[in-house]
């Protein structure tokens, strides 16, 4: 895919760009993750951007918050992972819980810390009450960041957001967590490729259980994939970004830090007791939280999310440093042990390949159906994982960092709980939430944590941790990441490189895959490392989701229910995606991943880039485009898998439309847009076309040309003659497009209509639209445009006229017959009077044939041109009265200017006076009257009108002895002015006045 290639190139070489990208990516990743994962974090960000609650927060803070949150999550994840590594599902949930705890603690603790408790509560309120709003807000925030990449991510984000928004807040939380984790994965290893399959798998599972939490995860993973790729490249920038954000947002950051501290504190009060003894007891305390949240309502979940954000922030600022450092260390180990990763990756891939869709099932099902297995997994991963990654992790974490250890323990217990209960997943997340707090507490409380003390960690390390955590899509990943990072940090501390190492440059470790861990545990112990890799998302598990879903659903139902909406959205988008692609990608990617992972330890940066590049190449969509495609594919596949209620379909359509809009603006990838744009049949058709092209070219970008768009052209089936115009935001639906015969009737109807211009314009625009989408270019088309152009001229709607004129020029040039002369004249007049461009005028005149020059209308237009260029107002107004066709209408638009020029000319050259009657006569006020000598009545009318006009333009009027009314030229020459048009409207087009439209528009 050319897109891929380009993307990679730009990304890799252009670090400055990357910076922005990173900016975005984090935002994007986070946002998606936010929405789903940490409602709380979202709330924070939202509050900052839109809402009331966070008034104090500035946009920078917003970003900051987001970042911190992810890190917080990741930290948590890491911790959890270390302990729970095996429990992917549990981990994921664990993160969520963490968030929740934080949130809760936030409100309570926030006050003490100086945080506006109100603000938080506000967040809460906002979040809960207006999930949708929050949803939209995040998107906006992303846009604010304004990175070019955002579009993609935002797209996905929106999807996730939408889903999350629709669902309860709790759902949000999980989703974000997933996103982040996936992101991490991709960043580290190029799992992105796998992501699509992952999505599919998850989707499938979701599909079966629309309400399961997992669907969200899959969604998030899709988003994560995109974000991930970017992140890889952007890792460093990320760090920078973070730093910068902190600096720039000093106030915000301070607040954040405070919050974080407070959150930490908060957790303590709330869960402190449990945390104090982090390992076992916290779990106990948390489970209740979880249950409550999960069962109770979205609200609790939201709160936790908010808390999470707070925690993350705090993490970053205060505890974050400590925890981050630790986490970073774990991260490094991952990189260093590329081999392990590879093996794990391979395993993943294998699993994915074999199972494809089932793969997801594998890991998903295990947790739910077999609560014990998850536990086992958790324990095993942690314990067994040590063999590969886990070994280091476990060793490092547990021994070195008391906090980590505590966290680990926490995570494990939580996980266990989760596994035990159907809601377990949620519970673990909650537990995870508690973990961060515990870690903080530990750090502060425990001397052992001295290493981890916030102050001790360099900013860059914090940034690193943030980055790492940002990648995490779900709690599991967070936990895993946290564990990894702890390992890294402890290691670094032991090495004494903690402060010396350039964390900004440090590559992010591959995402631990909690899901993998689960699988591993279920399947074999070899996959111990899998916890870090959440590859499941990346992997192609796709189309058989239904099977998976039941399993996952049963277990995760509560959590997943929230996610389901997301799933639906994606499904819509992804309907057409095929499993083959996923498989291909996976296979292809696997080598890349391995390579990257192996290399990563030594040359983190280069490796990352390589991975990125490879990903980009293979996915085609990789960086920007690829992401989209992947997500799309995921959507399609999901959609295919699902056959939902009509309501759901509608929703999906709406959402997909939304996505299309968002993407459309940001991305220039028409290819993708088109795919996205389609709805219903088109979706499938175009998607299949895309798929075809893809499979043909496989990474090279000729796809667009290869597609036979003619075959995809809509054939209308609508028999309604009347149709309102609505600007298409998606591919046209044949059911609402009228075929040519109907359009002909519609044109007749409009031509004979007695209704006002607004109605006609609306109708004609819809006719034009239908013609365009059906690619009808014949005499009917010309007639429609001519009709519309005439109506537009009559109504003085120049912009609409110009649209028609340019289309007509093209149509005439194609040899389609019409009123060529008439419109040539109009065109001339238009160029003369409104574009004021000599070159255009010359070329228009050059193009006139001799025959055309003999045409009455064209001759008239040429004469008008001469009059205008020479400023001969007398000639102009004579021509104005004699104008054929609708030339008058076009001249109307110039009359005011011409009159003003004329009067200023007269005032300059006439002395001492000019009679108003003369002006009225010369400047065409006495329209028809003068021509035929006219009646007195009309003359006086014209005279009055002229007098009014002169007065309005500042002329000085006087009366002489004969009672003639005259203009005092000498005085007037300096007092003339062009008054503001009375009917001026803010948007510059009186025809668009809302009141007018509402009053006159039919319907």
Partner 1 sequence: MAYMNMSMGEAHRRITDYLNRFSDAVSSQDGASFKSLFALSSNSPFLLSLADAVALFHDANRLINQSDSYSQFSDILLPLLRSVQNYKQGDFVEAYLAFEKTANAFIQEFRNWESAWALEALYVIVHDIRVLAEKADKELASTGKSPEKLKGAGSFLMKVFGALAGKGSKRVGALYVTCQLFKIYFKLGTVHLCRSVIRSIETARIFDFEEFPKRDKVTYMYYTGRLEVFNENFPSADYKLSYALKHCNPQREANIRLILKHLIPVKLSIGILPNHRLLEKYSLLEYSNIVLALRRGDLRLLRCALQDYEDRFLRSGVYLVLEKLELQVYQRLVKKIYIIQKQKDPSKAHQVKLEVIVKALKWLEIDMDVDEVECIMAILIYKNLMKGYFAHKSKVVVLSKTDPFPKLIGKPVNS
Using CB under 8 A, which of the segments 35-43, 206-214, 900-908, 941-949 binds partner 1? 900-908
Q: Which is nearer to partner 1, 665 or 847 (CB)?
A: 847
Site string for partner 1, 920-959 (x = CB under 8 A): -xx-------------------------------------
The correct pick among 914, 946, 950, 955 for binding partner 1 (CB under 8 A) is 914
CB of 898 to partner 1, least distance (A): 12
The yes or no reply on residue 206 touching partner 1 (CB under 8 A) is no
The yes or no reply on residue 863 touching partner 1 (CB under 8 A) is no
Nearest Cα to Cα of residue 175 among 50, 279, 29, 22:
29
Q: Which is nearer to partner 1, 341 or 967 (CB)?
A: 967
The yes or no reply on residue 757 touching partner 1 (CB under 8 A) is no
Element (H or E) spanning 966, and its range? strand 965-968
Residue 649 neighbours by CB distance under 10 Å:
18
CB of 921 to partner 1, least distance (A): 8
CB of 929 to partner 1, least distance (A): 16
Q: Determine the distance from the C-alpha atom of residue 201 to the mean position of all C-alpha atoms in its chain, rounded to a whole number.
A: 23
Are 477 and 177 a contacting pair, CB within 8 Å? yes
The correct pick among 872, 938, 971, 990 for binding partner 1 (CB under 8 A) is 872
Residues 6 or more apart whose Cβ sits within 8 Å of residue 234: 11, 18, 19, 21, 22, 23, 25, 26
Are 34 and 58 a contacting pair, CB within 8 Å? no
Nearest Cα to Cα of residue 4 among 705, 630, 699:
699
Residues forming a β-bridge with 473: 178
The correct pick among 871, 897, 975, 997 for binding partner 1 (CB under 8 A) is 871
Using CB under 8 A, which of the segments 173-181, 402-410, 692-700, 873-881 binds partner 1? 873-881
Nearest Cα to Cα of residue 475 among 515, 522, 521, 439:
515
Element (H or E) spanning 819, and its range? none
The yes or no reply on residue 918 touching partner 1 (CB under 8 A) is yes
Site string for partner 1, 316-345 (x = CB under 8 A): ------------------------------
Residues 6 or more apart whose Cβ sits within 8 Å of residue 43: 53, 54, 120, 123, 124, 126, 127, 134, 302, 305, 306, 309
The yes or no reply on residue 838 touching partner 1 (CB under 8 A) is yes
The yes or no reply on residue 873 touching partner 1 (CB under 8 A) is yes
Q: Which is nearer to partner 1, 448 or 958 (CB)?
A: 958
CB of 845 to partner 1, least distance (A): 6
Residues forming a β-bridge with 92: 475
The correct pick among 16, 455, 752, 839 for binding partner 1 (CB under 8 A) is 839
CB of 891 to partner 1, least distance (A): 17
Nearest Cα to Cα of residue 784 among 800, 806, 808, 802:
808
The yes or no reply on residue 727 touching partner 1 (CB under 8 A) is no
Q: Which is nearer to partner 1, 488 or 879 (CB)?
A: 879
Residues 6 or more apart whose Cβ sits within 8 Å of residue 191: 182, 185, 225, 228, 345, 510, 511, 513, 533, 534, 535, 537, 538, 539, 589, 593
The yes or no reply on residue 843 touching partner 1 (CB under 8 A) is yes
The correct pick among 869, 928, 935, 975 for binding partner 1 (CB under 8 A) is 869
Residues 6 or more apart whose Cβ sits within 8 Å of residue 797: 757, 761, 791, 989, 991
Q: Determine the size of the site formed for partner 1 (CB under 8 A).
A: 30
The yes or no reply on residue 995 touching partner 1 (CB under 8 A) is no
CB of 899 to partner 1, least distance (A): 13
Using CB under 8 A, which of the segments 6-14, 76-84, 368-376, 869-877 binds partner 1? 869-877
The correct pick among 752, 754, 846, 959 for binding partner 1 (CB under 8 A) is 846
CA–CA distance, 59 with 63 (Å, rounded to integer):
6
Q: Which is nearer to partner 1, 495 or 814 (CB)?
A: 814
Distances (CA, A) of 578 to 640, 669, 675, 692: 9, 20, 14, 10
Using CB under 8 A, which of the segments 288-296, 300-308, 481-489, 909-917 binds partner 1? 909-917
The yes or no reply on residue 913 touching partner 1 (CB under 8 A) is yes
Residue 967 neighbours by CB distance under 10 Å:
27
Q: Which is nearer to partner 1, 725 or 918 (CB)?
A: 918
CB of 905 to partner 1, least distance (A): 4
Q: Which is nearer to partner 1, 305 or 829 (CB)?
A: 829
| 62-121 residues near partner 1, rule: CB under 8 A | none
Q: What sign does the dihedral 502-503-507-513 (CA atoms) show?
A: positive
Element (H or E) spanning 958, and its range? strand 957-959
Nearest Cα to Cα of residue 597 among 448, 303, 389, 828:
389
| 874-893 residues near partner 1, rule: CB under 8 A | 874-875
Using CB under 8 A, which of the segments 134-142, 180-188, 411-419, 901-909 binds partner 1? 901-909
Using CB under 8 A, which of the segments 137-145, 674-682, 697-705, 904-912 binds partner 1? 904-912
Binding site for partner 1 (CB under 8 A): 838-839, 841-843, 845-846, 866, 869-875, 902, 904-906, 908-915, 918, 921-922
């Amino acid at each position: 895919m050319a897109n891929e290639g380009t993307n990679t190139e730009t990304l890799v070489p252009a670090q400055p760009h990357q910076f922005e990208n990173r900016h975005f990516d984090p935002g994007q990743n986070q946002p998606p993750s936010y929405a789903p994962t940490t409602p709380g974090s979202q709330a924070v960000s939202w509050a900052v951007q839109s809402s009331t609650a966070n008034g104090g927060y500035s946009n920078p803070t917003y970003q900051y918050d987001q970042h911190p949150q992810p890190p917080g999550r990741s930290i948590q994840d890491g911790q959890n992972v270390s302990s729970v590594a095996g429990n992917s599902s549990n981990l994921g949930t664990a993160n969520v819980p963490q968030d929740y705890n934080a949130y809760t603690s936030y409100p309570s603790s926030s006050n003490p810390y100086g945080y506006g408790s109100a603000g938080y509560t506000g967040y809460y309120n906002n979040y809960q009450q207006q999930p949708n709003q929050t949803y939209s807000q995040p998107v906006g925030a992303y846009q604010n960041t304004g990175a070019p990449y955002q579009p993609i991510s935002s797209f996905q984000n929106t999807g996730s957001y939408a889903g999350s928004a629709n669902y309860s807040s709790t759902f949000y939380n999980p989703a974000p967590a997933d996103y982040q984790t996936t992101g991490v994965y991709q960043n580290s290893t190029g799992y992105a490729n796998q992501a699509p399959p992952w999505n599919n798998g998850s989707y499938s599972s979701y599909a079966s259980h629309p309400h399961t939490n997992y669907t969200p995860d899959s969604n998030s993973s899709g988003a994560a994939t995109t974000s991930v790729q970017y992140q890889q490249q952007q890792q460093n920038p990320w760090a920078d970004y973070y730093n910068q954000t902190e600096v720039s947002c000093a106030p915000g950051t301070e607040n954040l830090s405070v919050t974080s501290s407070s959150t930490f504190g908060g957790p303590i009060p709330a869960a402190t007791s449990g945390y104090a003894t982090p390992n076992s007891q916290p779990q106990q305390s948390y489970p209740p939280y979880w249950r409550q949240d999960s069962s109770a309502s979205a609200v609790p979940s939201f709160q936790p999310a908010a808390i999470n954000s707070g925690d993350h922030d705090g993490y970053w600022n205060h505890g974050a440093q400590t925890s981050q450092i630790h986490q970073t260390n774990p991260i490094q180990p991952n990189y260093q042990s590329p081999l392990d990763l590879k093996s794990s990756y391979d395993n993943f891939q294998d699993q994915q390949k074999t199972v494809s869709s089932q793969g997801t099932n594998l890991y998903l099902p295990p947790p739910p159906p077999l609560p014990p297995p998850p536990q086992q997994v958790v324990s095993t991963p942690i314990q067994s994982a040590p063999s590969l990654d886990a070994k280091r992790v476990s060793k490092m974490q547990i021994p070195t960092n008391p906090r980590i250890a505590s966290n680990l323990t926490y995570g494990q217990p939580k996980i266990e709980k989760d596994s035990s209960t159907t809601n377990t997943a949620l519970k673990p997340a909650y537990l995870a939430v508690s973990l961060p707090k515990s870690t903080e507490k530990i750090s502060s409380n425990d001397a052992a944590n001295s290493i981890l003390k916030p102050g001790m960690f360099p900013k860059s390390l914090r940034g690193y941790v943030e980055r790492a955590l940002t990648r995490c899509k779900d709690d599991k990943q967070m936990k895993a990441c946290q564990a990894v990072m702890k390992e890294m940090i402890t290691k670094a501390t032991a090495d004494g490189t903690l402060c010396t190492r350039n964390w900004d440059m440090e590559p992010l470790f591959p995402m631990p895959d909690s899901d993998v861990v689960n699988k591993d545990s279920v399947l074999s112990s070899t996959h111990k490392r899998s916890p870090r890799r959440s590859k499941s998302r990346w992997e192609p598990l796709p189309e058989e989701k239904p099977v998976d879903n039941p399993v996952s659903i049963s277990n995760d139902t509560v959590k997943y229910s929230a996610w389901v909406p997301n799933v639906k959205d994606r499904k819509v988008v992804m309907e057409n995606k095929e499993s083959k692609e996923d498989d291909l990608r996976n296979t292809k990617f696997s080598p890349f991943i391995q390579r990257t992972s192996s290399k990563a330890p030594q040359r983190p940066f280069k490796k990352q880039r390589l991975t990125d590049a490879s990903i980009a190449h293979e996915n085609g969509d990789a960086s920007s485009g690829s992401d989209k495609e992947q997500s799309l594919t995921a959507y399609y596949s999901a959609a295919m898998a699902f056959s939902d209620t009509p309501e759901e379909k509608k929703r999906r359509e709406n959402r997909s439309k939304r996505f299309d809009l968002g993407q459309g603006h940001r991305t220039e990838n028409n290819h993708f847009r088109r795919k996205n744009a389609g709805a219903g049949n088109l979706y499938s058709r175009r998607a299949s076309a895309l798929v075809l092209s893809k499979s043909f070219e496989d990474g090279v970008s000729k796809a667009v040309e290869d597609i036979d768009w003619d075959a995809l052209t809509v054939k209308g089936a609508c028999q309604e003659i009347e149709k309102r115009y609505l600007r298409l935001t998606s591919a046209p639906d044949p059911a609402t497009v009228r075929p040519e015969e109907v359009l002909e009737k519609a044109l007749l109807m409009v031509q004979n209509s007695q209704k006002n211009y607004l109605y006609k314009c609306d109708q004609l625009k819809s006719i034009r639209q239908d013609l365009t989408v059906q690619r009808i270019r014949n005499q009917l088309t010309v007639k429609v445009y001519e009709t519309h152009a005439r109506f537009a001229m009559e109504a003085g709607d120049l912009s609409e006229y110009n649209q028609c004129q340019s289309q007509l020029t093209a149509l005439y040039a194609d040899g389609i017959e019409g009123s060529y002369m008439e419109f040539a004249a109009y065109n001339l007049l238009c160029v003369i009077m409104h574009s004021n461009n000599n070159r255009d005028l010359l070329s228009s005149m050059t193009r006139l044939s001799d025959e055309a020059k003999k045409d009455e209308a064209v001759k008239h237009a040429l004469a008008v041109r001469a009059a205008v260029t020479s400023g001969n107002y007398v000639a102009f107004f004579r021509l104005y009265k004699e104008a054929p066709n609708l030339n008058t209408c076009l001249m109307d638009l110039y009359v005011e200017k011409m009159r003003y020029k004329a009067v200023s000319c007269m005032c300059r050259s006439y002395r001492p006076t000019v009679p108003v009657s003369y002006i009225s006569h010369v400047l065409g006020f006495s329209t028809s009257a003068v021509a035929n000598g006219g009646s007195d009545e009309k003359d006086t009318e014209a005279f009055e009108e002229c007098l009014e006009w002169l007065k309005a333009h500042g002329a000085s009027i006087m009366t002489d002895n004969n009672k003639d009314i005259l203009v005092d030229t000498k005085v007037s020459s300096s007092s003339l002015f062009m008054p503001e048009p009375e009917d001026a409207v803010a948007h510059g087009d009186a025809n668009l006045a809302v009141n007018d439209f509402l009053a006159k528009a039919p319907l």
